[in-house]
């Protein structure tokens, strides 16, 4: 267990850990589903998810500053509600949501990989490749925070670099323009439930920052760095969602609003702490 000792995970490692989860789920796995549910209005769905996640992230920053622990949300629920059924149920629901997220990313990995070999998405190799990915992630996780931090950093660089090259090339080939300020389709094209579903999925895309709080007890200077890592991860994801879906000006708002929400909230919280001290 030496690999999980206190101060064994740097700020860079924590940011890479969260970025890897958020880009994997938010850009690779969920972007298409959100667009399918909301059409040309999917930037607004991501904006709604960004606002909700911004408030949630602010709560996580406050709690992680007060109670830096590897217990993550389970520790926070216990501090708020005490030991009991309510805290245990909330922690189990959070763990269940993580399982769903991991399954989603794993299956997406299998589907995307098979497209390189012109194999159908209903092939048995989709779940097989997903299981292989989960086993690989498990082996990395049991190797300790040093291996986790380094592997997360390498993967984050590869993913961000690959997305950047693909996005820049795609925008250049498509003749990027800000000519369309608003989507041209009507809101009535999809039912309200479809837009709500798209917004809910976009929230899942931003929720990778909860991975950081689950390693709070092992991060260097956790009272400061857990919150900093959460903020940086949200800004990075917001920026790359803008790059990925920048077909009109509205998408810029996704990154801008998210950045303003989180940074303003963090500055206000730090000033309040200084005043109280």
Write out pLDDT tens, residues 221-244.
Answer: 888 888 888 888 888 777 766 666
Residue-level pLDDT at 262: 46
In the chain, what is the straight-line distance between the N-terminal and C-terminal CA atoms, in Å? 36
Low-confidence ranges of the chain (pLDDT < 50): 1, 181, 247-255, 258-259, 261-270, 272-274, 277
User: CA-CA distance, 117 to 120, in Å (whole number)?
Assistant: 9
Range of the domain at 109: 2-276
User: Residues 148-177, buried b or exposed e (16+ Cβ, 10 A)?
Assistant: bbbbbbebbeebbeebeeebeeeeeeeeee
User: CA-CA distance, 197 to 201, in Å (whole number)?
Assistant: 6
Q: Decide if 239 contacts 221 (C-beta within 8 A).
A: no
Structure tokens at 92: 């189990």
Residue-level pLDDT at 131: 92
CATH of the domain at 194: 1.20.1740.10
CA trace torsion 8, 96, 94, 41 (10° rounding): 110
Structure tokens at 192: 């309200």
157 backbone φψ class: left, alpha, beta (φ>0; ψ -120 to 50):
alpha
Query: Exposed/middle/buried for 44, CB within 10 Å: 0-12, 13-18, 19+?
Result: buried
How many domains does the chain fold into?
A: 1
**In terms of Cα–Cα distance, which of 106, 113, 150, 151 is closest to 132?**
106
Structure tokens at 116: 């390189």
Residue-level pLDDT at 249: 43
Q: Tally helices (H) and strands (E) across the chain.
A: 11, 0
For helices 192-206 and 42-66, angle between their N-to-C axes, nearest 10 degrees: 40
Residue-level pLDDT at 248: 44
What pTM does this model have? Answer: 0.66
């Amino acid at each position: 267990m030496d690999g999980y000792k206190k101060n064994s995970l740097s700020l860079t490692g924590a940011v890479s850990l969260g970025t890897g989860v958020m880009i994997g789920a938010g850009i690779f796995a969920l972007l298409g589903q959100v667009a399918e549910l909301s059409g040309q209005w999917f930037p607004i769905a991501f904006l709604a998810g960004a606002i909700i996640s911004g408030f949630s992230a602010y709560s996580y920053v406050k709690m992680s500053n007060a109670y830096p622990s590897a217990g993550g949300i389970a520790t926070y629920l216990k501090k708020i509600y005490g030991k009991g059924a309510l805290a245990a149920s909330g922690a189990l629901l959070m763990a269940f949501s993580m399982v769903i997220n991991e399954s989603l990313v794993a299956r997406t990995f299998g589907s995307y990989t098979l497209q390189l070999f012109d194999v159908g998405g209903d092939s048995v190799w989709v779940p097989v490749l997903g299981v292989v990915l989960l086993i690989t992630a498990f082996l990395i996780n049991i190797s300790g925070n040093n291996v986790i931090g380094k592997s997360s950093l390498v993967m984050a660089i590869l993913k961000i670099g690959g997305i950047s090259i693909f996005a820049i090339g795609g925008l250049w080939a498509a003749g990027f323009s800000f000519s369309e300020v608003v989507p041209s389709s009507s809101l009535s094209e999809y039912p309200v439930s479809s837009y709500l579903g798209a917004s809910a999925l976009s929230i899942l895309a931003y929720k990778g920052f909860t991975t950081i709080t689950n390693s709070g007890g092992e991060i260097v200077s956790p009272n400061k760095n857990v919150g900093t890592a959460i903020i940086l991860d949200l800004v990075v994801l917001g920026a790359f969602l803008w790059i990925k879906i920048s077909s009109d000006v509205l998408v810029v708002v996704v990154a801008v609003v998210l950045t303003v929400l989180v940074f303003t909230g963090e500055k206000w919280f730090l000033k309040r702490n200084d005043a109280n001290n």
